[in-house]
Amino acid sequence: MKFMAVIERDEDGKWVIECPSIPGCVSQGDTRDEALANIREAIAACLEVRAEQGMPLTVETRQIEVTI
C-alpha cells in the first residue's frame, strides 16, 4: 500500500512525519531516514488498531493550493 506523508523539521531539528489519511498517525526521528522508518511502523500499527476497532482505515484527504 502507498500513503502520502508530510515531513518537516521541528524547532529542535527533529524530523516530524504525518500520514494525513490516517487520523493521529504521526511519528518522528533524529534523521529523515529514521522518521520514514518510524512512520512505516506507525502506519502499520494504526491500520491494525483501526481494523480491530471497526473504524474506517483511512479518511479522504486532498491537497489544494491556497493563495494568500
15 by Cβ neighbours in 10 Å (0-12 / 13-18 / 19+) ranks as buried
**Where does residue 16 rank: exposed (0-12), middle (13-18), buried (19+ CB within 10 A)?**
middle
Total-model pTM: 0.84
Q: What are the pLDDT digits (tens) for 5-33? A: 999 999 999 999 999 999 999 999 999 99
What is the β-pairing status of strands 6-9 and 15-18? antiparallel
Given its phi and psi angles, is residue 13 left (phi above 0), alpha (psi -120 to 50 degrees) or beta?
A: left
The pLDDT value given to residue 61: 79
| Total structural domains within the chain | 1
Range(s) of the domain holding residue 41 = 1-68
* Strand-pair partners of 23: none
CATH code, domain with 13? 3.30.160.250
pLDDT of amino acid 66:
85
